[in-house]
Structure 1
């Protein structure tokens, strides 16, 4: 069985059996093809012919083009791939020792409450797209959704009576996130006054529609966020994911339980959520530095 066939079987496995997201499947496939090309360029014709020297050389090669975080994902893809192939007897070999390079966790960028209010005040709700954009920002901040989750959100997944959103997250796992009344009133207005104005709006279940009446793409959502941030005079680097960071940071700063925030974000591991406690400590340090008399002396 050649390398392309092994990659294809692995892609089917993580797609149909493991339920990985489309974004992760695409990234893992790309990582494995990079590795297969690298092996071929270095005289190895198949995935069995690897050793620690080749793996180190591959990491150095990828480091010329990618961040340490992306390289860590490369290594995760290789570990999962080899484990799958060996467990299914597709490769007769010992499990190779594949280590990830160490990298520094960057604290996520987030918006303060003033910046959020400025963003929410920029949308022109007299326009069809303005009402859509305002609701999108409200929901990103109100529920801490990923860009893929806001793209795939449908009206049927929002229970206005119970004031919850049923979010379909990574690996097709559903989680429940509360949503505040102000956001739901804006949703009602959008569904009544704005969404019907899009062409062929009855042909898709997506909540947020583009100019042609289809679901908004990830890129379109990014562009809308960038445009609204610029209008609000916010010059820091901002993306749809910034609202997810902001959602978690504001909850924890205001006393929310870490486990509850973990559930709302859909994090499998609480250590992923704990990074937001570091942001709170950073804020405390900044306040201490700013107001303690010994710092001012």
Structure 2
């Protein structure tokens, strides 16, 4: 409008070469380009305007970085020696004269983001390479403080978007300690005269058969399903069950380990 305008956008350029339009509102009704655009020219913030009575082209002396997000801003107050301002990352990086801007900036041209078509004969189209986000246009100039506030808002922008949740501590899975098992006791001539062709005995235990005082427990011996009635199995516990705290019934059982199982001949019955 006649009062001026302001534009800001987050950009992440993939290249710094050439003219790369960010926002363009230009056309060529009489084969001569008219209108304005906010660009990166060789990586530097730039403004261009063409009207019936003149033209303006202003480029800042600072350069953006490839692959990094930057806040690019423009503020225009027509008809003033220092009415034009270019911003990069919330800081004023260039002023320019807008005395030639004596006509309304708003025209019937199409508004383009990241692209400018070929305007008139012999003109080339231009495109932005990279990413553009959160483009804003205002029908009035913006002060430096406003651009700084937009830059400080970062991803939250001016839309009151909720802040991303703070990640909490990640639970680290723990692996349970394996409980050692008692291998079946091998049978052989070295075990109190017991012999077996299989070489191993399957042993089954029952907590209900435990006697008070840790006395030996009788067990039935089987060899591959066949009963061995001529033997008793005795389990001697070399360690003792630790006591839980008073009122705590969750005292741990001490697992059996190899070497705690012995066999003896059964008494004649």
Bin the TM-score by the shorter chain. under 0.3
Counting helix residues as a fraction of each chain, which structure ranks higher?
A: 1
The structure with the larger Rg is 2
Counting strand residues as a fraction of each chain, which structure ranks higher?
A: 2
Normalising by structure 1, report the TM-score.
Answer: 0.22
